[in-house]
Amino acid sequence: MAVWQPELTSRVALVIQYLGTRFHGWQRQPQQRTVQEEIETAIANVLGYPVVIHGAGRTDAGVHAAAQVAHFNVVDCPIPAHRWAAILNSRLPEDILIRASAEVSLDWHARFSAKWRRYRYTLYTDPRPNLFVKAFSWHYYHAPLDESLIQAALKPLLGNHHLAAFHRAGSSRAHSWVEIQAAECHRQGSFVQIELQANGFLYGMVRLLLGLLVQVGSGQRSLANFTEIWQQQRRAEVKYAAPAAGLCLLRVGYTDFPFPTEIWYDTQPQFFLPDVTVAPREQIEPSTPSCIAAALISQVAAQT
């Protein structure tokens, strides 16, 4: 007589990178290409049955991720958890990469166990376009940007605030309270980078916030007016969202995380372009056929 045995369920966590350019966001949507659907399809092709993956955050269309985190459950699966990264990478498109995979407890959740999320936004301020940074930045060259003004605008946002001014319509979230844990702005040459860390982010929050911050940095809006808008929840005055290309989900933080730091911490490279000043034409050492010929004649003469 066969003895009944319960099915063994295990949970696998993933650290995921993706280029958001050709995706309609993270979350599965009808008739749209999404990151969630691509990964779920790859997993189902291995297991032979459908699964649902749960992400730490739902990035918008065009937004990138350097270390998104997700998990899924498997039943009676002989595949070791650490092997899932290599198995999925062989089946996923080139704009998604699984950095690592590991087994976690069944009460660990990619979204609900997360203590914070961190985003980075990159602006490219040189008036000359650059194809190699276009897909990862907002080319903002219409007016000079003062990063010190942006940093000053960010400082009062630290703490727990009602940020309805930066909450796009269509969200299922019942409130607009957000705990901002870090807010930084710095410049490196032609690049201005803004990083925000919070316990969670509202739908469309970062891009709406960036659209207003750029107005402060370019002098179009005062620091006092910026602060009044979000403190008084004047959503109607926040009209412009920054382009998606400049935004990247940088990393997600957990109390217990099964991955080494190098897998998930600062995996988005930061751009750097040297300050190159081309010498005037008359200062460049000539390298002409006549010079080469003269050198050859001198060598021949020395040998005779």
Q: Which positions are annotated as active-site residues?
A: 60
Query: What φ, ψ does residue 257 adopt, rounded to 5°?
Result: -130, 130
Residue 28 burial (C-beta neighbours within 10 Å; 0-12, 13-18, 19+): middle
CA–CA distances in Å: residue 9 to residues 78, 119, 159: 11, 33, 39
Distance from C-alpha of 29 to C-alpha of 201, rounded to nearest angstrom: 20
User: b/e string for 169-178 if b means 16 or more Cβ within 10 A?
Assistant: eeeeeeebeb
Query: What φ, ψ does residue 280 adopt, rounded to 5°?
Result: -55, 155
Residues 40, 55 contacting (CB under 8 angstroms): no
Residue whose structure tokens are 């009808």:
30
CA–CA distances in Å: residue 205 to residues 55, 61, 240, 257: 18, 14, 11, 26
